[in-house]
Amino acid sequence: MATNRAIQISKHGGTEVLELNRIPVPTPGPGQVLIKTAYAGVNYIDTYYRTGLYPIALPFNLGSEGAGTVESVGVGVTKFKSGDHVVHMATGSYADFLAVPEKSVAHVPNDLPLDQAAAILIQGLTALTMLRESYEVKRGDTILVHAAAGGTGLILVQLAKALGAMVIATASSQEKLDIAKAHGADYLVNYSHGEEQWVKEVLGHTKDGQGVEAVYDGVGKTTFEGDLKVLRKKGSLVSFGNASGAVDPFKINRLGDKNLKLLRPRLFGYIGKDCSPLPAPRIPKPISSLANDRSMQQDTQEVFDYYCGELFKYVKAGQVKINIHKVYSLEDIAQAQKDLEGRGTTGKLLIKL
């Protein structure tokens, strides 16, 4: 039986629990596409699965996205053929080969290299869906993006600028702030000098000190309280990650002080990530209406295609530049996760298969 390399965990813990194992090369089932991985993206969510912050059944194949070439397709797959360049959002992507439901696969534009495609997918789709659906940014809004030099942060900054917002960017060092500035951030705040200081500086960059329309926060625990202070009345707090730890329990009544909205979105709630091989339900709607149609079924090929197409358009137009921090080998997965968690990275980390 043909085998391939894959990163698995059989218990939770630090990077020492990461195992490089050989597993059978999957055979694509009905509706599935077998992909030979070229690059897999390293994402914070993989570290949450590893530590147990996000519950999973063990053993577990790590990795959440990748780009590569179609090796073969299962019964009923019509959109993809052997040799196509594709991206996918599916669990187990830290592996040479992966069978992925067709609805979680999208074509890569001809002129986009596979490393760039892998580097933009999850973080880019997260940024795009949040700016469209969590709090829809409007021209003239002033928004705050935390960890703005990170993978998701840099894309949030660029997309928000493309959508006409003023962007206040935070990061923990001047070097990182300079990178955020080079990607379009209007105001820079080093949030490592304590909450009182960064809150004051952020408010100082808003009209009459009234606060921002929205905060996009992937840092979590350490910034949440300050976020409530820098939001203007009726503002929106989009809390989408836990880089510093999970946000502490919170009394909902506190939102009433300024009639704030609080969201805790996950990308997979906007773009379904169902790994079942069942074909996606048909949506009798034109593609252009999908993003704003509240009645649409999210877990579909059409939605994934729609958002991938939008994202690739921003890249092609030069409005979103893709930043690859470093490319690691599969053997170096522990180092890649340590680097991401260690706060020393900017932009995207990739594994080359």
Ligand X SMILES: NC(=O)c1ccc[n+]([C@@H]2O[C@H](COP(=O)([O-])OP(=O)(O)OC[C@H]3O[C@@H](n4cnc5c(N)ncnc54)[C@H](OP(=O)(O)O)[C@@H]3O)[C@@H](O)[C@H]2O)c1
Residues at the contact surface with ligand X, assessed by CB under 6 A: 43-45, 122-123, 126, 147, 149-153, 171-172, 176, 218-219, 222, 240-244, 265-267, 340-341, 343, 345
HEC assignment per residue over 149-201: CEHHHHHHHHHHHHCCCEEEEEECCHHHHHHHHHCCCCEEEEHHHCHHHHHHH
Tell the smallest beta-carbon distance from residue 332 to ligand X (Å).
17
- Residues 339 and 345: beta-carbon distance below 8 Å: yes
Closer CB to ligand X, 72 or 222, in the complex? 222
Closer CB to ligand X, 171 or 333, in the complex? 171
Closer CB to ligand X, 85 or 266, in the complex? 266
Separation between Cα atoms, residue 45 and residue 60, nearest integer Å:
13
Are β-strands 142-145 and 187-190 bridged in parallel, bridged antiparallel, or unpaired? unpaired
The 8-class DSSP code of residue 299 comes to: S
Distance of CA 281 to the CA centre of its chain: 25
Strand (E) or helix (H) holding 238:
strand 231-239
Tell the smallest beta-carbon distance from residue 228 to ligand X (Å).
18
Closer CB to ligand X, 114 or 119, in the complex? 119
The per-residue b/e assignment along 42-56, b for 16 or more CB within 10 angstroms, e otherwise, is: bbbbbbbbbeeeeee
Closer CB to ligand X, 232 or 348, in the complex? 348
Separation between Cα atoms, residue 9 and residue 24, nearest integer Å:
16
- Residues 328 and 350: beta-carbon distance below 8 Å: yes
Tell the smallest beta-carbon distance from residue 277 to ligand X (Å).
23
Tell the smallest beta-carbon distance from residue 329 to ligand X (Å).
20
Tell the smallest beta-carbon distance from residue 141 to ligand X (Å).
21
Closer CB to ligand X, 32 or 158, in the complex? 158
Closer CB to ligand X, 17 or 246, in the complex? 246
Tell the smallest beta-carbon distance from residue 343 to ligand X (Å).
4
Tell the smallest beta-carbon distance from residue 245 to ligand X (Å).
7
Query: Angle at Cα 180 formed by Cα 178 and Cα 185, nearest 5°?
Result: 110
Q: Helix (H, G, I), strand (E, B), or coil: what is residue 50?
A: helix
